[in-house]
Structure formats: structure tokens, C-alpha cells
Amino acid sequence: MNAPLKNTVPLSLRVPEPRARPGDPIDFSGLVVAPAGAAPRPDINASAYAVRDLAFTLVRVLDEANVAVGPWNPKLSPAQMKRGLRTMVVTRAYDERMYRMQRQGKTSFYMKCTGEEAVASAQALALAEDDMCFPTYRQQALLIARGYPLVDMMNQIYSNAADPCKGRQLPVMYTSKAHGFFSISGNLGTQFSQAVGWAMASAYKGDSRIACAYIGEGSTAEGDFHSALTFASVYDAPVILNVVNNQWAISSFQGIAGGEESTFASRGIGYGIPALRVDGNDFLAVYAVTQWAADRARANLGPTLIEHFTYRAAPHSTSDDPGRYRPVNEADAWPLGDPVERLRDHLIASGEWSDDDHKALEKEAADLVRAAGKEAEAIGTLGQSRPSVKEMFEDVYKETPWHIRRQRQELGV
């Protein structure tokens, strides 16, 4: 008789832990990195099933000698690469200044994207200017690439009189419809499924614009991630679904989101969504997979899921101290290097760039940021200058109803 077995061992609960905590030696030995150029580049109309192995490998273009190799080499012109490099360098300079400003008490909060600049910088280059992005708080490079004024970004951060969000939003929660940059939410994940709705609308109208959505690997656990993939799959929405896997969600390593059990890209397989995993610190690789995904979307071939494999070199935010939960210099040991240095070295190796050029670019970026900073600070930093208090009561609805009007009177503004 084939009766149900009982256990031979008692059950036990497994709680995943990262390989190294503060004080432990840094350990990236579990990380398997495919060589640059190895991943095949299928046709954009290949089926999700046919391309499913791309979810388990790593698309890489820049090899150890900083040469661009393999079928994913996007063959960018030097001018394009320089433009991308510039976006990354300006972003880094911007981050550094704003982080410092928060430390000086000039604003309440800031978040850097250090180490992850290639993701948004390369994507901005690969997308059309009017494609709509639904970012998290770590894609400031999109705004920078698309020419949104640095000073307006700073005004938002200072909640000053010129703040485009009128003092209502936490710093870094930018918005600019004109730059295809959706209003950032503090609630993780919500934008991911909204992006699919936007893409459905674009398809419904026979438009040509596509949507590009971002989510952190930690936030993939939210239901909105699943909604996004379901709706994108069912309605074949023209959207690029980006998971930025920077290994950390505040203090939780990617295993707490399931990253030890499979890749985040492989989540796409179950929805029939072509999914790629890309070296997120390889500007050229990010550009190439984005172009592939965008071409698919534009050709009515539907959504693509991209996992950007990168590392959050900065603290989560100015409220965070990573020294409490990970080895101090883990970022420096990240096996996939730094995105700015890698693109710089590739340009230098191609004879298109020099150390001096790079220093000049860094200086230009610093000057640009400093000038914008002066301008914004002249308007005012947090608490020194702000929009009219009346603004607190506006825009709750298009027309302010009586009860909110009356509350405004109650406050006497």
C-alpha cells in the first residue's frame, strides 16, 4: 500500500542570509558572470519561450580589456558614447552635491544612484525623447539626459519657492510630463503597473510612444509587479519593464526578494514575456538590450522584461548607514566594476577619449552642478524659502471644494 509518507526529518524554516555581514570578508564567490559577448542576440520577433535562456545569463558587451564584443555590441558612435558618459558624470556630480547639501541641513532627505548610473543614462539614449518613463527614485539620470534643468531638480529638493512640486513632495520625487518622466511615488512598485496602463493607452490610440518602467529588485515582491507583468502579457502592451537589481533593498539583500532562488529576469518566463538579464554596469550592454526591447515594443511585439544586474554603491538614502548590515567596502569589490570607469576606459581604449578629456568632463560637470546649486540656493533651501502656504490646499482636486476652502480660511492663509 502506497500510503502518504510522513517526514523522515522534522521540517525547518529557512531564512536566507547574505554571504557577508559587517566584519566578515567580502564574498562574491557565488556570483557567476558570463563572459562578454557570449549571450546570443535573437531576432526581435523570437518567442519568449525560445529566448528563455537569456533570463539566466548576463548580456555583456565590454570585455575585460574594455573592448566591445559580441552580437549585442550596439556599435554606438563615439558622439553617442560621449553623450552617455556625460550624463553619467553629471549625475554623479549632482548626487554628490545634493548628498552633501542634505548633510549640511539644507534639505531633509536625499537618495543617490551611485554605481547604477548606466541604467538610466543608457536607456535615455536608447529611447525616443517622448517615450514615457515611470521611474523609481534612482533614475534621476533620465531627467539629466533629457535636459531637464538641474536647477529645477534642486528646487524640488529644497522645496523652495520655485519647486515644481510646490513644496508638497519629499525630495527626489520629481515629475515632468514634458520630459516623459512620471511623478515619482513614495509607495514602491505602484508605477510599474501604471506604466502598463499608459502603454495600453498609447496602443489604444494607435500612437507610437512606448512606456518604460522601473522597479527595484526588492520591490518586485509587491503585487504591482505581478499586475504589471500580467497586464503587459495579456494586452501585449508596448512597455519595457526594468528590474534594477542593485543587490540591496535598504538592509535586505536580494535573497529576501527571492534572488537566491532564480534570477529576477526569469520572472518574465511564466508570463510569456521575453526577458533578459544584463550587466547593468555595462553602458553598451544596457543600451543594446533596451534598443532590442524598444524595437519589439514599437513593432507591436509587446513587452520585454530586463533585469539590470548592478550594485547600490551608495547608502539607501541619507537616512541609512550600510555599515550596519554589509561589509564596508563591498561596493569597491563589486566584480562588475563601475559604469563610469568602464565606459571611460572603453572610449580611451578606442582612442576616442583621454584622461585629460575625462578630467575636463568631470570639471565641466562639477561646474554645471555648482552653478545650478548656487542658483537654486539663491532661491532658497528647505525652510528658507518655500511656495505660498496656500499651495497646501490646492490641487487636492481640480477645483477646491468648500470644506478645503474653509480649512484654508481656518488656517488664515
* Closer of 66 and 219 to its own copies (Cβ): 219
Q: Which of residues 194-223 bind ligand TPP (CB under 6 A)?
A: 216-219
Q: Which is nearer to its own copies, 207 or 395 (CB)?
A: 207
* Residue 111 C-beta: closest distance to ligand TPP, Å: 8
In this structure, are residues 249 and 257 in contact, taking their beta carbons and an 8 Å threshold? yes
Amino acid letter, 270 = G
Locate cell 515629475: which residue? 175
Residue 411 binding partner per list Mg ion, its own copies, another protein, none, with a CB distance cut-off of 5 to 8 Å that depends on partner kind: another protein
Work out how close the CB of 147 gets to its own copies at its nearest, in angstroms, rounded to a whole number. 15
Which amino acid is it at 235? Answer: Y
Q: SS3 sequence, the chain?
A: CCCCCCCCCCCCCCCCCCCCCCCCCCCCCCCCCCCCCCCCCCCCCCCCCCCHHHHCCCECCECCCCCECCCCCCCCCHHHHHHHHHHHHHHHHHHHHHHHHHHCCCCCCCCCCCCCHHHHHHHHHHCCCCCEEECCCCCHHHHHHCCCCHHHHHHHHHCCCCCCCCCCCCCCCCCEHHHCECCCCCCCCHHHHHHHHHHHHHHHCCCCCCEEEEEECHHHHCHHHHHHHHHHHHHCCCEEEEEEECCEECCEEHHHHCCCCCCCHHHHHHHCCCEEEEECCCHHHHHHHHHHHHHHHHCCCCCEEEEEECCCCCCCCCCCCHHHCCCCCCHHHCCCCCHHHHHHHHHHHCCCCCHHHHHHHHHHHHHHHHHHHHHHHHHCCECCECCCHHHHHCCCCCCCCHHHHHHHHHHCC
Among 45, 47, 187, 262, binds ligand TPP (CB under 6 A): 187
Q: Closest CB to Mg ion among 193 and 245?
A: 245
| Stretch 288-317: interaction string toward ligand TPP, x if CB under 6 A | ------------------------x---x-
Amino acid letter, 375 = E
The interface with its own copies within residues 60-79 (CB under 8 A) comprises 74-77, 79
Exposure string of 299-334, with b = 16+ CB inside 10 Å and e = fewer, is: eebbbbbbbbbbbbbbbbbbeeebeebbbeebbeeb
Binding positions for ligand TPP, 100-129, rule CB under 6 A: none
Shortest gap between Cβ of 347 and another protein (angstroms)?
36
User: Measuring CA to CA, how many Å separate 388 from each of 330, 345, 379?
Assistant: 45, 49, 14
Q: Residue 271, interface with its own copies (CB under 8 A)?
A: yes
Q: What does 316 bind: Mg ion, its own copies, ligand TPP, none (CB cut-off 5 to 8 Å by kind)?
A: ligand TPP
Residues 58-87 that bind ligand TPP (CB under 6 A): none
Indicate which single residue of 39, 59, 132, 200 sits in contact with its own copies (rule: CB under 8 A). 200
By CB under 8 A, the residues from 208 to 237 that bind its own copies are 208, 210, 221-227, 230, 233-236
| Contact string 248-267 vs its own copies (x = CB under 8 A) | -------xxxx-xxxxx-xx
What character string, x for contact with its own copies (CB under 8 A) and - otherwise, covers 104-143?
----------------------xxx---------------
Nearest distance, CB of residue 34 and ligand TPP, angstroms = 23
- Residues in contact with ligand TPP, shown as a per-residue x/- string from 224 to 253 under the rule CB under 6 A: ----------------------x-xxx---
Q: Which does 268 bind (CB under 5 to 8 A by kind): Mg ion, its own copies, another protein, none?
A: its own copies
266 makes contact, choosing from its own copies, Mg ion, ligand TPP, none, with CB < 5 to 8 Å by partner type, with: its own copies
Residues 6+ apart with CB under 8 A from 347: 78, 81, 82, 85, 353
The nearest distance, CB 50 to another protein, in angstroms, is: 25
User: What is the closest distance, in whole angstroms, from the C-beta atom of residue 325 to Mg ion in the complex?
Assistant: 13
* Min dist. Cβ of residue 252 to ligand TPP (A): 7
Q: Which parts of this chain interact with Mg ion (CB under 5 A)?
A: 216-218, 246, 249
> Applying CB under 8 A, which part among 98-106, 156-164, 169-177, 199-207 lies near its own copies?
199-207
**Residue 171 touches its own copies, criterion: CB under 8 A:** no
Which residues here bind ligand TPP, judged by CB under 6 A?
136, 138, 186-188, 216-219, 246, 248-250, 312, 316
